[in-house]
Structure 1
Amino acid sequence: MAPQRFHEQFAHIQHSMPGVALAMGPEEDAHFLYEKGVVLARDGEEARVVEDTVRAHFTATEGLVPDHVRRDGPETGRTGVTRIRTGAPDAGEDTVPHALRALREAEDRRGRRLVSRNHVVHIAVNACPGDEPVPVARTQPANPAAAEGRYDAGSAVGVLVIDTGLVHDHGSYPLLAHTTGDAQAAETDAGGVLGQYVGHGTFIAGVLAAVAPNTALTVRGTLNDAGAILESEFGARLFEAVDRGGWPDIISLSAGTPTEGGDGLLGLDAFMRELRGQRTLLVAAAGNNASDTPFWPAAYAALPEYADSVLSVGALRADGDGAACFSNHGPWVRVYAPGERLTSALTGFAAPVPYVYQHSTYDSCRYGSDYLCTCQFPRHTGVLSEGRESTGAKPDQVMFDGLAQWSGTSFATPVAAGLVAAHMTAHQERDPRAARTRLLAATTDTADVRGAHVPALRPPSWRPVPVVVPALPA
């Protein structure tokens, strides 16, 4: 992970969540964000135990105020979690680490986790960006290109994309003619400049529709606020998304977070249990931290009870020969798909729209890879980059007029989801979990990921993009 990029994004996410004080994870694992002064516990008796234990510890500890320990609002019902405040909202010191330490003994006695931080769940190019989008001429075909087949409303596979919403001119892109859902919030600022990560959900929908034309795509703007949401809210928003149209065949989710200790997300427990009882397949991004630390909810795929209901997806580099430099990895990542320099719809079909880069590229790969990756190319200078003002470098601006090239496990995810949907259509399979199992069983392609041969899904309509590997010194 590159701390510089992570710190650059922190301020952007904090700005998008006014009134919420955020903190970074411990320095040795600074891959996650969470709400300061708040922990989560299960409703009912466990919430009472957490509240009483923390208050007693704070009473006995100098400098901590037990009166600040209280339930922050009513129990949340369907999600099964309660917010417990452990410090004043405007306090300088974060009291969450103190509360967690106070509960370790109680957790050991009960044999289960009682409490967690209230993590920030973010789209998988946000707190850990693969890169930013690059304009592509309209004359350049999509990659993956549109697969053979046509849309048929009677047999289309239902796919729900949980992400940012659809841009206003998405209907100008032929592959999205049948796509419905929520509008992208606040596409541009007061000066008409495209916001950061606007079009993320539209790009994903375009990739999915290209791989699987016979899909009924619905895009929900659950992550419209800079692609970030508190864990305590995310479970409820997921329930809202499936309640609006019923449980779909497939959910494509390009969001998540690591957690301290590698545990799952307490705020998603209820949703994940209900998912397990449905026939829906959750296809989730593995994240872009170049780490083997589990990224949730994708990492649920490694838990036996979720093995058939969750598919975690890492990203292959542009030529498909191995993992992209940014892709998370490890035994909890079940499959890899192309996720570097894909081409799909973004925005600007009706009229070109400007975008100002937020991050600068690097002189070498920030993860240590030996090919010309998206860390380095194409070169640009960003607004948020450390040291820019001292050098006088101006941020680069580009114009989008429809298509873009973008990289991240965010986009490998709809490739995999689309291939499951295409398998359902080709084999008249109505069970998405059975289709996933049969697709993976029939896949003979592999990729070398850090010395391990892992399953790789490469769509027939995807075109490898050559990458440059620097020559070794003589």
Structure 2
Amino acid sequence: MAPQRFHEQFDHIQRSLPDVPLTMGPDDSAGFLYEKGVVLVRDGEEAGFVEDTVRTHFTETQGLVPDHVRRIGPQAGRTGVTRIRVGDPAEGEDTVPHALRAVREAEDRQGRRLVGRNHVVHIAPVNACPGDEPVPAPRTEPANPAPAEGGYDPGTAVGVLVVDTGLVHDHRSYPLLAHTTGDTQLTETDDHGVLRQYVGHGTFIAGLLAAVAPNTDITVRGTLNDAGAVLESEFGALLFEAVDRDGWPDIISLSAGTPSADHDGLIGLDAFMRELREQRTLLVAAAGNNGCDTPFWPAAYAALPEYADCVLSVGALRADGESGACFTNHGPWVRVHAPGERLTSALTGFVTPVPYVYQHSTYDTCRFGADYPCTCQYPRHTGVLSEGRESTGAKPDQVMFEGLAQWSGTSFATPVAAGLVAARMTAYRERDPRAAGAALLADATERAEVRGAHVPALRPPTWRPVPAVIPAVPA
């Protein structure tokens, strides 16, 4: 874990959700974010039971008046979940852990989880702990992975839905994205013309997908435009909205999620995941960037038997492809690893150069304890959010983006894996994305070392390993 980066990112996410008091869990050690003073339950009888149980517990043990425990709306409708206020978020202590304990005995009797935290779901390179921030690629640096052979045929193209931040306005000027459709980024720059944090994230992902699998119809939905963060209680509805708008695609590429103390998924995603199971769509999801083995949802659904065929969880290999990137989450719930460090793709189009100011500083040593020149350390950055910067007088670093960039995170290993599934569908004329994904894994003979385990690795033919040396900072 990396608490310093986690705390820096917490403030950024809290500003993006100004009306939602957030706190950290399970303690102050960089686990996950959730709504303070609120729990999430399934609507109906379960909600009434939880409400009564928590009210009784708090009245007897905390001295709270019953009105402090109540449902707050609006309910999420199709997702079947509702929020219950279990305390005053303005008070110092968060009451959610007390409420969860109050219901545990009843859950044990019923053999089913009834209540959970209302997590903040965020794009994986945020993950309240970014893999890194993008750096401009040298003008002579080609895309990596390079564009694969083969053209685009709208009659046979594989449909891929990217649920992320929206596309930059000039994305079509990048040849690989000429036929990509979807939402444009709501606001790309601030009042000073500086690129906002995580703008270009969805564009970068679409560029990677198109490079690995040219015969794809890529639609990018800006579901996570607002700093890449959304409450779990809203996330399921947003996913439904994305598939309802465009129809269920062959593949969903999702570089977002959250860790959780629960090991059976997210209550807010129950309805969406059940419907996914009944479709033919394959969900390819990022494993997250906390550098730990804590399950990251929805990627971790891949480890649940009922979802094993419809979810592919993806971790990140480091730049040389030999082992796991320092930041990648890992464990038996991660099905496969793909290149995810210092990939090169389109952050913006090629029309208008735009400045960017770094938010986080790099470290003197890897924040996850790795012993190779990882993105924690290089290229060197001084960021706006870093603690102690004002006392030293250090100014944040600024760069100019005008096309390709290098970026790292499981967010980007995910579209690489999704692209390989799509490419296999084209090569074998396979119309079932789940069958294509299963065959891809079955044929994956390459391995990589990740935290002492030898795990399946997918390396695109056009991807070039980058030697583990300190990279030069582009001028």
Instruction: Tell whether the structures are fold-level matches, with TM greater than 0.5.
Output: yes
Q: Following the alignment from structure 1 to structure 2, what is the Cα–Cα distance between the partners of residues 98 and 73? A: 22
Deviations 1:290-348 (A, max 9, x none): 10010000000000111110000000000000000000000000000000000000015
Aligned to 2:109: 109
2:187 is the counterpart of 1:186: yes
Q: Alignment partner of 1:27: what SS? A: coil
Structure 2 counterparts to residues 299-314 of structure 1, below 5 A: 299-314=300-315
| Contact residue 38 and residue 83 of structure 1 kept, 8 A | yes
Structure 2 counterparts to residues 163-312 of structure 1, below 5 A: 163-312=164-313
Shift in Å, 1:63: 4.7
AA in 1 matched with 2:344: T
AA in 1 matched with 2:119: H
Decide which moves more: 354-363 or 436-445: 436-445
The structure-2 alpha-carbon separation of the partners of 1:65 and 1:3, relative to structure 1 and needing over 3 Å to count, comes to: farther
| Contact residue 163 and residue 219 of structure 1 kept, 8 A | yes
| Contact residue 287 and residue 410 of structure 1 kept, 8 A | yes
Aligned to 1:85: 85
Structure 2 counterparts to residues 33-432 of structure 1, below 5 A: 33-126=33-126, 127-347=128-348, 349-432=350-433
Q: Following the alignment from structure 1 to structure 2, what is the Cα–Cα distance between the partners of residues 323 and 120? A: 26
Shift in Å, 1:89: 4.8
Q: Following the alignment from structure 1 to structure 2, what is the Cα–Cα distance between the partners of residues 348 and 39? A: 42
Decide which moves more: 460-469 or 352-361: 460-469
Decide which moves more: 111-120 or 447-456: 447-456
Deviations 1:3-52 (A, max 9, x none): 00000000000000121100001237532000011111111100000000
| Contact residue 3 and residue 29 of structure 2 kept, 8 A | no
Q: Following the alignment from structure 1 to structure 2, what is the Cα–Cα distance between the partners of residues 138 and 160? A: 30
Q: Alignment partner of 1:290: what SS? A: coil
Q: Alignment partner of 1:218: what SS? A: strand
| Contact residue 65 and residue 87 of structure 1 kept, 8 A | no
Aligned to 2:458: 457
Tell me how many residue pairs correspond in the alignment. Answer: 469
Q: Following the alignment from structure 1 to structure 2, what is the Cα–Cα distance between the partners of residues 4 and 74? A: 35
Identity between Structure 1 and Structure 2 (%) = 82
Q: Alignment partner of 2:390: what SS? A: helix
| Contact residue 168 and residue 349 of structure 2 kept, 8 A | no
AA in 2 matched with 1:145: A
| Contact residue 348 and residue 400 of structure 1 kept, 8 A | no
2:28 is the counterpart of 1:14: no
Aligned to 1:2: 2
AA in 1 matched with 2:95: T
Q: Alignment partner of 2:326: what SS? A: coil
Aligned to 1:472: none
Decide which moves more: 438-447 or 156-165: 438-447
Q: Following the alignment from structure 1 to structure 2, what is the Cα–Cα distance between the partners of residues 406 and 255? A: 16
Q: Following the alignment from structure 2 to structure 1, what is the Cα–Cα distance between the partners of residues 108 and 194? A: 52
Deviations 1:242-268 (A, max 9, x none): 000100000000000010143411000
The structure-2 alpha-carbon separation of the partners of 1:114 and 1:180, relative to structure 1 and needing over 3 Å to count, comes to: same
Q: Following the alignment from structure 1 to structure 2, what is the Cα–Cα distance between the partners of residues 316 and 3? A: 23
Q: Following the alignment from structure 1 to structure 2, what is the Cα–Cα distance between the partners of residues 262 and 65? A: 33
Q: Following the alignment from structure 2 to structure 1, what is the Cα–Cα distance between the partners of residues 467 and 31? A: 30
Q: Following the alignment from structure 1 to structure 2, what is the Cα–Cα distance between the partners of residues 44 and 421? A: 40
Shift in Å, 1:468: 3.3
Decide which moves more: 162-171 or 84-93: 84-93
Decide which moves more: 371-380 or 342-351: 342-351
The structure-2 alpha-carbon separation of the partners of 1:8 and 1:250, relative to structure 1 and needing over 3 Å to count, comes to: same
Q: Following the alignment from structure 2 to structure 1, what is the Cα–Cα distance between the partners of residues 88 and 14? A: 18
Q: Alignment partner of 1:284: what SS? A: strand
For the aligned residue pairs, the C-alpha RMSD in angstroms reads 1.2
Shift in Å, 1:74: 4.3
Report the TM-score when normalising by structure 2.
0.97
Report the TM-score when normalising by structure 1.
0.97
| Contact residue 339 and residue 413 of structure 2 kept, 8 A | yes
Q: Following the alignment from structure 2 to structure 1, what is the Cα–Cα distance between the partners of residues 59 and 248? A: 47
AA in 2 matched with 1:334: R
Deviations 1:126-174 (A, max 9, x none): 1120000001134321000000011110000000000000000101100
Decide which moves more: 89-98 or 239-248: 89-98
AA in 2 matched with 1:123: I
Deviations 1:338-375 (A, max 9, x none): 00000000015211111000000000111111100000
| Contact residue 159 and residue 249 of structure 1 kept, 8 A | yes
AA in 1 matched with 2:312: L
| Contact residue 288 and residue 410 of structure 2 kept, 8 A | yes
The structure-2 alpha-carbon separation of the partners of 1:6 and 1:413, relative to structure 1 and needing over 3 Å to count, comes to: same
Shift in Å, 1:109: 1.9
AA in 2 matched with 1:36: K
Q: Following the alignment from structure 1 to structure 2, what is the Cα–Cα distance between the partners of residues 151 and 49? A: 54
Q: Following the alignment from structure 2 to structure 1, what is the Cα–Cα distance between the partners of residues 187 and 84? A: 32
Shift in Å, 1:77: 2.3
Q: Alignment partner of 2:121: what SS? A: strand
Shift in Å, 1:91: 3.6
AA in 2 matched with 1:352: P
| Structure 1: runs of 5+ lacking an equivalent | 470-474
| Structure 2: runs of 5+ lacking an equivalent | 471-475
| Contact residue 80 and residue 270 of structure 1 kept, 8 A | yes
Decide which moves more: 109-118 or 407-416: 109-118
Q: Alignment partner of 2:283: what SS? A: strand
Q: Alignment partner of 1:98: what SS? A: helix
Decide which moves more: 92-101 or 285-294: 92-101
AA in 2 matched with 1:56: T
| Contact residue 359 and residue 382 of structure 1 kept, 8 A | yes
Q: Following the alignment from structure 2 to structure 1, what is the Cα–Cα distance between the partners of residues 206 and 242? A: 16
